[in-house]
């Protein structure tokens, strides 16, 4: 034992001696900023230029001479993208790069559960770490402004507070793995059509109150190590070269110390990128392999052109050094972190996480007569109708397209869970997108069907007549002009004659369930004809299992809508996208509605939603007790505490989302009638009651004064509004701010 202690002491001393001999930037025991400055001081001008732009489709160069590794990016935010060729989008042909697909971020937001966001981030971060990725290009937190945005499925809904509370744990979960979360698309990227050409015109109040809070929370609370500027323009400057967004707000007001990484092809010139732009440039549409002896990556705006301007004396290295500091900081936090976890891929734990998040995000929109859950004790015959019951949804949609190890379809999920207690039959019903490939990833499905819509509807109706249940699985898909990057939807309605099919089915079977698969709101002209509707989202690898869990009652639905479903497109209150007069032009998109997005606008215009923000039903019922404030008056530096009792009055365990909105009864500036300021997801056993409390502080009462450029809480009358959705108000409690 004595000899052991001597050996241990010698070993510790040896390690200490070895650490002392390391260059400072490689000594993990030293402060991060000291290591950054030491590495910077050792780099040549060419090496500095080399680390701030891409060297391939998804990597940037390191400094081999100093042992500083390359940085590798991967698309997210729903799963780890398959490997592509060095300078092409096509597949690299790996056989071990299939991932676990997690639910789309609309589904995560619909859980209204920050614990699910942490689980999601940790799980996807483990997969990124295992694949030796340093930066996950996600999550996305752009506000759901219009239901036509093709990329809404990648974001977290219409409310800045909800998105803020969900993005912070996601980031922390990812970064626990030594992988940077790159929050996108900063900022005002709310439509896909003409995304490189539209210039957003928006007032500062709207910018700060609606479109920036989730990004700010990601930086100041989540500690995001990277952020991705958007494609669009703001104040006539592209977001990747935007002084207001990047210098004044991000690096100035929020003190962001991470890296601004360009979206692929988002950089447009050298000079503005030097002084008010991104730190790392990616994807400026060059081919680095077919130019013979030259390397097209050296022609990037922040590559050789930048170095030549420095060599000519037009710029010093001051701006360059600041960019390199940020890149070095990123490298030390990720690729050079010797203590980071090993990660894991496609583990049983990840499958369970994907299924759990998906199940908790599914929203029961309607359930008249208690049609759901399906009663398996009757050994029912279930007829499943619709292309989306069998179509893979992980392939396509843009940069979030995935190559998955497996994907459980809704039909297979139901068959698996019902096989011994009933019969499940399938008929096609409609033909939509029969394609199944994206960037070389093939779904392997042959969905071609030459029958007419009338023939398909007739077959489905005949099958539905004698069924105990009809479950229609339809909605949108990830093809262009639906839920897909690069283009917006052209209408709110369902494509492929689905409305006609649903109405025909409802006429012959009263026990009909519509499962809508989409990342967006859709019109439902048949809503009064069907008793039950589920919002199913894009649920990833475990989609079918999660849907079956809810349909048969294994999981009690607890999802709540993160955005409003309007009855018709006009009810959303958003002006249509202007048209370009010339392809090279830019076009102004004026946010005329200002603050009044989503439920805020519905309240202002007194328009009734098809399904309101925050809406979601359960297989049990809940009773809200009378909310009570600990006092009726508060000062600017004080807080109020609101308490109420929630009771599960049904016969089974369930979860309710108690929502707290604040209304300013008299303001010098226009304000929404109410705004979400807190929420709590509560699980209760049948008959159980629990006291819930909320703290109301000055921030919950404040608006952004764009003249003074600060947040202001005006003295006067307010009310705390307890609700189960934006339209289901349970109680209002008045109070005053002195």
**DSSP state, residue 129:** H
Distance separating alpha carbons of residues 425 and 707, to the nearest angstrom: 63
Kindly name the residue from 263, 279, 483, 488 that is annotated as catalytic. 263
Distance separating alpha carbons of residues 46 and 69, to the nearest angstrom: 16
C-alpha of 161 from chain center: 14
Q: Specify which residues 694 forms β-bridges with.
A: 642
Q: Measuring CA to CA, how many Å separate 578 from each of 587, 666, 708?
A: 7, 36, 32
Instruction: Tell me: cis bond preceding 187? Omega within 30 of 0 counts.
Output: yes
C-alpha of 532 from chain center: 27
Let me know the angle formed at the C-alpha of 183 by 274 and 407, rounded to the nearest 5 degrees.
135
Strand ranges in 423-508 using DSSP code E only, listed in sequence order: 423-427, 437-438, 441-442, 469-475
Distance separating alpha carbons of residues 78 and 563, to the nearest angstrom: 19
322 is catalytic: no
Q: Check: CB of residue 28 under 8 Å from CB of residue 338.
A: yes
Rg (CA), the chain: 27
The helix/strand/coil state of 699 is: helix
Q: Could you tell me how many residues make up the chain?
A: 738
Q: Check: CB of residue 228 under 8 Å from CB of residue 186.
A: yes
| Torsions phi, psi for 37 (to 5 deg) | -65, -35
Distance separating alpha carbons of residues 110 and 236, to the nearest angstrom: 34
Q: Which of 77, 76, 106, 78 is nearest to 535 (CA)?
A: 106
Tokens of 591: 């946010």
Distance separating alpha carbons of residues 380 and 468, to the nearest angstrom: 6
C-alpha of 302 from chain center: 29
What sign does the CA torsion over 118, 122, 128, 134 have? positive
Q: Check: CB of residue 598 under 8 Å from CB of residue 146.
A: no
Residues labelled as active-site residues: 263
């Amino acid at each position: 034992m004595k000899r052991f202690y001597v050996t241990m002491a010698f070993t510790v001393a040896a390690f200490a001696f070895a650490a002392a001999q390391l260059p400072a930037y490689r000594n993990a025991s030293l402060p991060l900023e000291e290591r950054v400055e030491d590495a910077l001081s050792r780099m040549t001008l060419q090496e500095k230029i080399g680390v701030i732009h891409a060297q391939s489709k998804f990597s940037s160069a390191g400094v081999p001479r100093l042992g500083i590794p390359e940085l590798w990016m991967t698309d997210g935010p729903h799963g780890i993208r398959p490997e592509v060729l060095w300078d092409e989008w096509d597949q690299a042909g790996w056989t071990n790069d299939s991932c676990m697909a997690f639910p789309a971020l609309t589904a995560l937001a619909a859980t209204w559960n920050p614990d699910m966001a942490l689980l999601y981030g940790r799980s996807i971060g483990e997969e990124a770490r295992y694949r030796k990725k340093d930066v996950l290009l996600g999550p996305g937190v752009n506000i759901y402004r219009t239901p036509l945005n093709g990329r809404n499925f990648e974001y977290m809904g219409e409310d800045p507070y909800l998105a803020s509370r969900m993005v912070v744990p996601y980031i922390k979960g990812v970064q626990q793995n030594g992988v940077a979360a790159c929050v996108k698309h900063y900022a005002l990227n709310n439509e896909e059509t003409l995304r490189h050409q539209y210039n957003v015109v928006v007032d500062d109040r709207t910018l700060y109150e609606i479109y920036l809070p989730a990004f700010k929370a990601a930086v100041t609370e989540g500690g995001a190590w990277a952020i991705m500027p958007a494609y669009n323009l703001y104040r006539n400057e592209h977001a990747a070269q935007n002084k207001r967004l990047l210098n004044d707000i991000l690096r100035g007001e929020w003190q962001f110390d991470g890296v601004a990484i360009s979206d692929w092809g988002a950089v447009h010139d050298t000079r503005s990128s030097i002084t008010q732009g991104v730190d790392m440039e990616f994807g400026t549409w060059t081919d680095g392999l077919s130019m013979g002896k030259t390397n097209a990556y050296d022609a990037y705006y922040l590559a050789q052109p930048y170095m030549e301007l420095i060599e000519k004396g037009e710029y010093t290295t001051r701006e360059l050094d600041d960019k390199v500091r940020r890149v070095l900081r990123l490298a030390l936090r990720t690729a050079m972190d010797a203590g980071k976890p090993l990660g894991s891929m496609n583990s049983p734990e990840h499958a369970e996480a994907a299924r759990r998040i998906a199940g908790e995000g599914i929203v029961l929109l309607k359930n008249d007569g208690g049609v759901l859950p399906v009663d398996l004790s009757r050994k029912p015959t279930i007829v499943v109708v619709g292309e989306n019951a069998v179509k893979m949804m992980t392939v396509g949609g843009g940069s979030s397209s995935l190559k998955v190890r497996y994907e459980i379809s809704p039909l297979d999920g139901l068959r698996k869970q019902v096989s011994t207690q009933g019969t499940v039959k399938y008929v096609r019903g409609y033909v939509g997108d029969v394609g199944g490939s994206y960037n070389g990833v093939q779904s392997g499905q042959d969905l071609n069907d030459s029958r007419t819509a009338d023939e398909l509807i007739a077959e489905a109706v005949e099958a539905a007549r004698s069924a105990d249940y009809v479950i229609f699985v339809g909605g949108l898909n990830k093809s262009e002009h639906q839920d897909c990057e690069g283009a917006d939807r052209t209408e709110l309605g369902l494509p492929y004659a689905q409305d006609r099919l649903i109405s025909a089915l409802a006429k012959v079977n009263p026990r009909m369930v519509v499962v809508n698969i989409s990342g967006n709101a859709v019109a439902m002209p048949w809503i009064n004809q069907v008793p039950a509707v589920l919002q199913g989202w894009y649920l990833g690898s475990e989609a079918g299992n999660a849907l079956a869990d809810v349909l048969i009652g294994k999981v009690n639905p607890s999802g709540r809508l993160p955005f409003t479903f309007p009855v018709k497109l006009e009810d959303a209150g958003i002006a249509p996208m202007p048209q370009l007069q010339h392809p090279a032009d830019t076009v102004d998109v004026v946010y005329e509605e200002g603050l009044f997005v989503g439920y805020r606008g519905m309240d202002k215009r007194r328009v009734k939603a098809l399904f309101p923000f925050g809406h979601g039903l359960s297989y049990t019922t809940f009773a809200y007790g009378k909310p009570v404030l600990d006092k009726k008056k508060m000062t600017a530096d004080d807080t109020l505490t609101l308490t109420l009792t929630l009771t599960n009055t049904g016969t089974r365990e369930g979860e309710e989302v108690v929502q707290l909105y604040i209304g300013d009864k008299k303001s010098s500036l226009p304000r929404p009638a109410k705004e979400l300021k807190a929420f709590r997801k509560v699980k209760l056993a049948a008959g159980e009651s629990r006291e819930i409390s909320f703290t109301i502080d000055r921030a919950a009462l404040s608006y952004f004064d764009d003249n003074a450029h600060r947040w202001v809480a005006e003295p006067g009358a307010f009310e705390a509004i307890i609700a189960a959705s934006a339209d289901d108000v349970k109680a209002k409690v008045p109070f005053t701010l002195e």
